[in-house]
């Protein structure tokens, strides 16, 4: 019976997926074939029921393909790589599965557990192994600060999907990256809705220790428009 609650989350994942794919369709991008694409983490969430450690193998595969094309200076990573294996969304959902099933439906306890689940998703830790690594990641721009003279985005958050998908919780902290591009790398306001590739040095600061510094930041960024094919 209690599976239903878990299903709401899985449903939510599908909704999120829906937001995601409509956006990509407008960019005429059927990118199912590609392993690393915008918002793949969401898909893996949808697939999660089958195997929870699939996450790990997937990132291994990514690492392998990456080492093959070793000429690339920046390692191309996916959004799942930003989570710690075993502490990502999938793992959190799996952890709460039993607890949710154990409590009576519609009770106050249920609300409380779901609240905790949400909190855990929100405070998902950053992956310290990524710190100071040169990476390449694709995503969407959510502007934070605009240069009024040039009409360009001075500071933004890189997120896995476009706009606010209202059906589900916002991306957790480890799925939003703060980026302050240098002057020559800034995106025009008009182009802020297009997906981009970001290459740069990633900095991971734990949520637990420093509130003001928590999360991922990418410095020395190079920004390119998003293309479907892996650029190697």
Partner 1 sequence: MILLKLTLRSLWNRRMSLFLTILSIAVSVMLLLGVEYIRKEARQSFLSTISGTDMVVGARSGPVQLLLYSVFRIGNATNNISWKSYQEIKKNKWVDWTIPLSLGDSHKGFRVLGTNQDYFKYYRHGDKQLLKFQKGKPFDGVFEAVVGAKVAQKLNYQIGEKIVIAHGSGSTSFTEHKDKPFTVVGILAPTGTPVDRTVHISLEGIEAVHIDWVNGAPISGYKISAEEALKKNLKPEVITAFLVGLENRIATFRLQREINEYTREPLLATVPAIALAELWQTIGNFETILRIITVFVVIAGLLGMLTTLLSTLNERRREMAILRAVGAYPRHVFFLFVLESLILVVLGCLIGMLLLVALVALAKPWVIEHYGLFLNNWLPSSSDLLLIAVISALAIVFSFIPAIIAYRRSLQDGLTVRV
* Gap between the terminal Cα atoms of the chain: 49
In whole angstroms, the minimum distance from the beta carbon of 172 to partner 1 comes to 8
Is 130 a binding residue for partner 1 by CB under 8 A? The answer is: no
In whole angstroms, the minimum distance from the beta carbon of 32 to partner 1 comes to 27
Q: Which of 173, 196, 202, 223 binds partner 1 (CB under 8 A)?
A: 173
Q: Which of 145, 220, 224, 232 binds partner 1 (CB under 8 A)?
A: 145
Q: Which of 49, 142, 185, 219 binds partner 1 (CB under 8 A)?
A: 142
Q: Which listed range, 2-10, 55-63, 86-94, 214-222, lies at the site for partner 1 (CB under 8 A)?
A: 214-222
Q: Which residues bind partner 1 (CB under 8 A)?
A: 122, 142-149, 151, 153, 155-157, 159, 164, 169-173, 176-178, 189-190, 192-193, 211-216
């Amino acid at each position: 019976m209690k599976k239903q609650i878990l299903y709401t989350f899985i449903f939510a994942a599908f909704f999120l997926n829906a937001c995601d794919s409509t956006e990509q369709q407008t960019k005429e991008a059927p990118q199912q074939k590609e392993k690393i694409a915008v918002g793949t983490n969401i898909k893996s969430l949808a697939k999660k029921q089958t195997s929870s450690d699939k996450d790990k193998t997937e990132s291994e595969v990514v690492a392998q393909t990456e080492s093959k094309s070793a000429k690339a200076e920046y390692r191309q990573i996916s959004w799942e790589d930003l989570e710690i294996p075993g502490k990502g969304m999938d793992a959190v959902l799996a952890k709460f599965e039993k607890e949710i099933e154990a409590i009576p439906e519609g009770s106050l306890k249920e609300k409380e557990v779901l609240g905790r689940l949400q909190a855990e998703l929100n405070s998902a830790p950053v992956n310290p192994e990524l710190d100071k690594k040169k990476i390449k990641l694709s995503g969407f721009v959510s502007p934070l600060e605009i240069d009024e003279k040039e009409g360009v985005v001075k500071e933004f958050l890189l997120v896995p999907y476009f706009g606010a998908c209202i059906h589900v919780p916002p991306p957790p902290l480890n799925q939003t990256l703060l980026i302050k591009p240098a002057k020559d790398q800034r995106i025009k306001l008009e182009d802020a809705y297009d997906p981009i590739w970001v290459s740069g040095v990633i900095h991971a600061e734990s949520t637990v220790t420093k509130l003001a510094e928590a999360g991922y930041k990418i410095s020395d960024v190079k920004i390119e428009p998003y293309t479907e094919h892996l650029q190697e």
